[in-house]
Amino acid sequence: MRVVFAGTPEFARQALLAIIQAGHGVAGVLTQPDRPSGRGMKLQPSPVKQSALDAGIPVMQPRSLRLDGKFPDEAQATGDALRALAPDVMVVAAYGLILPQWVLDLPRLGCLNIHASLLPRWRGAAPIQRAIEAGDAASGITIMQMDAGLDTGAMLLRVERPIRPEETGASLHDGLAVDGAQAIVDVLARLEAGQAVPAVPQPSDGVTYADKLLKSESALDFSQPATVLARRIRAFDPFPGTTMPLPGFDQPVKVWAAQALPDETAGQRAHEPGAIVEMGRDGIDVATADGILRVTALQKPGGRRQPVDVFMQSCRG
């Protein structure tokens, strides 16, 4: 198979490496322009770009693919390059740019997307985190034939992964990256062998949207139940993280781990939501609208993530 790959972050890099290892000819890579990062804010290549360069694959980084957009010259040049590559298929994973119809129509077999949810649940930008936040029992990977809609295309393969009670956004991301890499290799192998890969339309029932993660969502709202807050803390690890005010600090501290206490424990204490009920080596207990949230890992401004006992000891020091 002659493949063009479009992706940007680590999630996509895993798929690119798997496609290369499977022996497919990756003729070119599309990825986002380099972004400033680190203390010096120097321009850094995306994980996908770095792996493509390491493998000697040509890289294209247009700011837009819209021929009628703000950067039509870049879009036109990219189109000319893609047509010259004559790909059988384009594989897309967390690319970050909308593909206009001319891109979707260019490869002989169209564009295949690796989406990190069990479609039609959690279409959109942040399916991994929203699944944990909502308390879903499972997530997964869907390989989808892309169309002009937002994650609305027909499904070629779905792979389910359970969401463990301690799952974080980071751990689920890593697991789904592996699943997605294997799933796209399986689909490409079937296409290469000329096997029929049924494209199943997505059902109209069960559609949900995973809104983009915003830093403004970081502040914990203790008028919500403890179980909801505990899920949000896990979902937003590592980005955008969650925060809470704490006596002795001018700025909110980051909260990296917490648990909702059992009902028989929580029911014995009546406090206003947000009130600190108790502080000890086992955690900082905070009242919520329903139950007690025990915070067990924190990070002070400018500091490092620490277990609560180490955090409290450093505060006393």
**pLDDT reported for residue 262:** 80
Query: What per-residue confidence (pLDDT) applies to 41?
Result: 85
Please provide the CATH number assigned to the domain covering 2-210.
3.40.50.170
Q: How far apart are CA 18 and CA 150, in angstroms?
A: 26
Question: How many Cα atoms within 13 Å fall on the side-chain side of residue 57?
Answer: 28
Q: How confident is the model at residue 127 (pLDDT cuts 50, 70, 90)?
A: very high
pLDDT for the residue numbered 139: 98
The full length of the chain comes to 317
pLDDT for the residue 237:
98
Instruction: Evaluate whether 55 touches 42 at the Cβ level (below 8 Å).
Output: no
Give the mean pLDDT of 191-197. 93
40 pLDDT tier (thresholds 50, 70, 90): confident
Judge contact between 154 and 200, C-beta under 8 A: yes
Q: Is the pLDDT of residue 317 over 70?
A: no
Q: What distance in Å separates the CA atoms of residue 112 and residue 189, rounded to the nearest whole number? A: 13
How far apart CA 294 and CA 282 sit, in angstroms, is 8
- What's residue 264's pLDDT? 58
Strands 59-60 and 123-124 turn out to be: unpaired
The reported pLDDT for the residue numbered 271 is 86
Kindly report the backbone phi and psi dihedral angles of residue 249, in degrees, each rounded to the nearest multiple of 5, phi listed first: -120, 130
> CB neighbours (10 Å) of residue 288?
25
Q: Are 28 and 4 in contact (CB under 8 A)?
A: yes
Q: What is the mean pLDDT of the chain?
A: 95
The secondary structure of the chain in percent helix, strand, coil, rounded to multiples of 5, reads 30, 25, 45
pLDDT category, 38, cuts 50, 70, 90? confident
Mean pLDDT of 23-47: 93
What CATH architecture is 215-316? Roll (3.10)
Residue boundaries of the structural domains of the chain: 2-210, 215-316
Please state, in angstroms and rounded to a whole number, the distance separating the CA atoms of residues 263 and 135: 18
Predicted local confidence at residue 316, as pLDDT: 67
- What span, in angstroms and rounded, lies between the C-alpha atoms of 239 and 270? 32
**Predicted TM-score (pTM) of this structure:** 0.95
Look at residue 268 and tell me whether its pLDDT is greater than 80.
no
- Average confidence (pLDDT) over 156-176: 98
Indicate the SS3 state at residue 103.
Answer: helix
Burial 104-133 (b: 16+ CB within 10 A, else e): bebbebbbbbbbbbbbbbbbebbbbbbbbb
Find out whether 114 and 105 touch, Cβ atoms under 8 Å: no
Say if residue 263's pLDDT is above 80. no
> Which one has a higher pLDDT value, 248 or 56?
56
Residue 260 has pLDDT above 70, yes or no: yes
Residue 281 pLDDT > 60, yes or no?
A: yes
